[in-house]
Amino acid sequence: MKTRRVTAAIASVLALSLGAAACGGGDDSDGNGGGNGKKDAALSSIVNASTKKGGTVTYEHSDVPDSLDPGNTYYGWVQNFSRLYARALTTFKPAAGKEGLEVVPDLAEGLGKPSADAKTWTYKLRQGVKFQDGTPITSKDVKYAIERSNFAPEALSNGPTYFKAYLEGGDKYKGPYKDKSADGIKSIETPDDSTIVFKLKQPFADFDYLATFSQTAPVPQAKDTGAKYVQNIVSSGPYQFESYEEGRSATLVRNKNWDAKTDPIRKALPDKVTIKFKVNPVTVDNDLLSDKITVDAAGTGVQPATQPKVLTGKNVAQTDASYAGATQYIALNVNVKPFDNEHCRKAVQWAMDKQSVQDAIGGSPKGDVASTLLPPSVNGYTKFDTYATEGNKGDVAKAKEELKACGKPSGFDTILTARSDRPAEVASATAVQNSLKKVGINVEIKQFPSGKYFSNFAGVPSYVHEHKLGMLSMAWGADWPTGYGFLDQIINGAAIKPSGGNNLMELNDPKINKALTDAIANTDDAARTKAWGEIDKMVMDNASVVPLIYRKNLLFRPESAANVTVTQAYLGMYDYTLLSSTK
């Protein structure tokens, strides 16, 4: 079945989440669509709504992006941010509340038209769309963008590989840097400059969601320089790069060849957008509180040290406790000893004091204790707890039984990774370390920068094996808000890559792989939804994932921020396509 909009199941689940989070929130009494600046107002309305053009929106980030190249990124905040300069075939509607989960046409003039078996999807591009140099954008530019982003891991390794996995011949095509043929991958057809046709190996009911990825944003082949393209990105959106200093900053200004008539999605109110990288995370918080910047680009909320200040002070009305649609967990790598043994993995499951992890990150405002991989706001979530313990504090006796079963009755030594610029993740790792010490599992914590965490360290199997990184800190949000959009890239064996991978467990279970493939091919919505919960249970039985927290973001909006609303489509951060500033 073709999915044009968020299904009723997704909408109802998220409506409940948003409603619960917005209790005591704002109303629309100011007549401007805003929430009057009340606590949690941006969860269900647009705060400080404005139609005024001008000003500068300023971002800061505690680290660096994996890449600002639309074809070489997997971070949710970059997917959100890139919509300022890169137009995908479809996108999520810039709107408040559950309306923001609706998939709408962007570069395409309509949503995809599927064949009866959902194996062929056709899109038509809008007329009159141009790159920043005035060159018309064609379907061939979209095809090339997908070829470079999915089939050239030697140059672009950070993004997902759904197209490679599901296009006919995707396993054989070598990418545009190696395959110099004029045809490229034959399962993407461009019969004319405005039509693009995708031919798939099997039915894929979520294809309109896949088309929202920045990987479908057009790239002119003549301007592509592989990994160096990030230095000179060619804009298809309302803003283009005036400057970019890798690892330091970027400035975006208006794209004079962007035409609002061809883009009903974006209002493009600011004159300029700036972003600074490698800013201390507590400094980012302080800059927000003092109204020196518009937004924290990471979108994960204030740090634990800042949280009491904003929750008990005069600025509490400027906070939004947003459900992130994400789960924080520990990946146990099945190819690093002793986690190649199921019982050693289960020992960690039983020993884990999840309550201490929640306390370490700032308590319930930052999330709820998790028992499943799927978070409650994702379609397919089923409530269960395979490793339930009293008060979520762990069970030492059961953990020791599993240690005996895995031949390590006295425990063992292992390494746990964490991202150095994320204080909450480091605090979580310390809580995990203390939990496991009680049963003789001695954990050494090693920290890595988040900007290279997947491309150089945790997402590189050879590095993980060589350095014996048995436990890896991870937080994951849905690529799109269905069970498949959440699970595929983190539990499917096909998602294991030489670098930039997200299946940090290196889980490659044939039964789980087949269950995923069968479910996404099922055009029956109800059956597909049921399958996601069943697959989640299979993963928990495997014990390679230790769910810790269903994440929340305690966001802060300074007074100068205008058109502020939370988007659940992008992990509960603010919608960057709407954001403007009164400065």
Q: For 254-301, what is each residue's pLDDT tens digit? A: 999 999 999 999 999 999 999 999 999 999 999 999 999 999 999 999
How far apart CA 357 and CA 431 sit, in angstroms, is 5
pLDDT-derived band at 317 (thresholds 50, 70, 90) equals very high
Range(s) within the chain of domains with CATH label 3.40.190.10: 54-279+558-581
Does residue 368 register a pLDDT over 90? yes
- Sheet containing 545-556: order of strands: 367-369, 545-556, 319-332, 471-477, 412-419, 441-448
Q: What is the mean pLDDT of residues 451-471?
A: 96
DSSP letter (8 states) at residue 239 = E
List helix spans (H) across 279-422: 281-289, 307-312, 342-351, 354-361, 396-405
- How does residue 5 score in pLDDT terms, banded at 50, 70 and 90? very low
pLDDT for residue 36:
52
Task: Round to whole Å and give the CA distance between 159 and 87.
Answer: 16
Helix (H, G, I), strand (E, B) or coil at 405: helix
**Given 3.40.50.720, 3.50.50.60, 3.30.420.40, 3.10.105.10, which CATH number is that of 326-553?**
3.10.105.10
Q: Kindly tell me the sign of the dihedral angle through the C-alpha atoms of 77, 17, 537, 408.
A: positive
Element (H, E) at 352: none
Q: Which of 66, 164, 206, 155 is nearest to 495 (CA)?
A: 164
Spell out where 363-497 has E strands: 367-369, 412-419, 441-448, 471-477
Q: pLDDT tens, 73-101? A: 999 999 999 999 999 999 999 999 989 98
Q: What angle do CA 272, 142, 209 make, to 5 degrees?
A: 85
Average of pLDDT values for 457-473? 98
Architecture of domain 54-279+558-581 in CATH? 3-Layer(aba) Sandwich (3.40)
Q: Three-state DSSP class for 176?
A: coil
Provide CB contacts within 8 A for 541, sequence distance 6+.
Answer: 386
Q: What is the mean pLDDT of residues 519-540?
A: 93
What residue ranges of the chain are covered by domains with CATH 3.10.105.10? 326-553
Per-residue model confidence as pLDDT tens digits over 108-149: 999 999 998 889 999 999 999 999 999 999 999 999 999 999
Distances (CA, A) of 80 to 19, 83, 84, 298, 568: 23, 6, 8, 10, 11
Helix-then-strand count for the chain, H and E: 15, 21
**pTM score, two decimals?**
0.81
Q: What share of the chain is helix, strand, coil (3-state, %, to 5)?
A: 35, 20, 45
CA distance 133 to 290: 38
Indicate the SS3 state at residue 453: helix
